[in-house]
Structure 1
Amino acid sequence: MAESEYETSHLAHVMRDMEKDYEFAIGMVFSNELEAYHTYVAYAIGKGFGVRNDNLLRNRKGEITRRTFVCNCAGHPINSSDQEKKYHRSEVRCGCPARIKFKVDNGIYEVIEYVSTHNHPFIPEGQKHMIRCGRMMSDTCKCYS
């Protein structure tokens, strides 16, 4: 099984098995980055928001020691009014504080910070399939698009 096929099936499995009232807790442990990321994405899609990668800290050896995933509305838009934009698209960043931070030790991801509050409305149930981090396409389908 190719890595992307594994990711797709793993995310679908996590989303199917996740309880509606699932919450993260400080001290929770995940065996690798994919498991941590897919679990947070499944939780996010269930709630109605998207996820993106944020900070990544490495030690002197180049090993990951901290990893943060944030709501896709985190941060603020970059105002570049001097430059004319090629494409105009709506801006979703509104400074949302929601995030999850992991401490990484020997490839084990442990939750050290979790903020679940959002400052924006969630995506409606009928539009959750459009959340970017949750779109699942197999390699076969990608070849035809």
Structure 2
Amino acid sequence: MRTCLVVDDSSVVRKIARRILEEMAFEVVEAEDGEQALEICQRGLPDAVLLDWNMPVMDGYDFLGRLRRLPGGEGPKVVFCTTENDIDHISRALNAGANEYIMKPFDKDIVSAKFQEVGLIQAMSSESA
């Protein structure tokens, strides 16, 4: 089963993301900040990371840079999911190695579309595979 690491300091956002991703047949692992997420990735890299930008301890941007420097760290598809919507944030994220960018609030259709764009899932009908 494919895994997705959801990194967000909001337990509500993590819960919503978990529900959406589990419907998309992902095993979900959660972290509440970048430092916790990095520890998880050092034990085993996920297939995907849904990543918030603004978090205590280590923000998403710093986490992304460290993830990409890990052995195999270029592998996971990283989708930023944040309220930061200015072009500077978006370009910084993409230049740092993010594969896509989602604005909060999000729903299953948005996550599904972005995961299709980065090759994590195939386009499918409303029935799960």
- TM-score by structure 2 length? 0.30
- TM-score by structure 1 length? 0.28
- Whose helix fraction is larger, Structure 1's or Structure 2's? 2
Q: Which has the larger radius of gyration?
A: 1
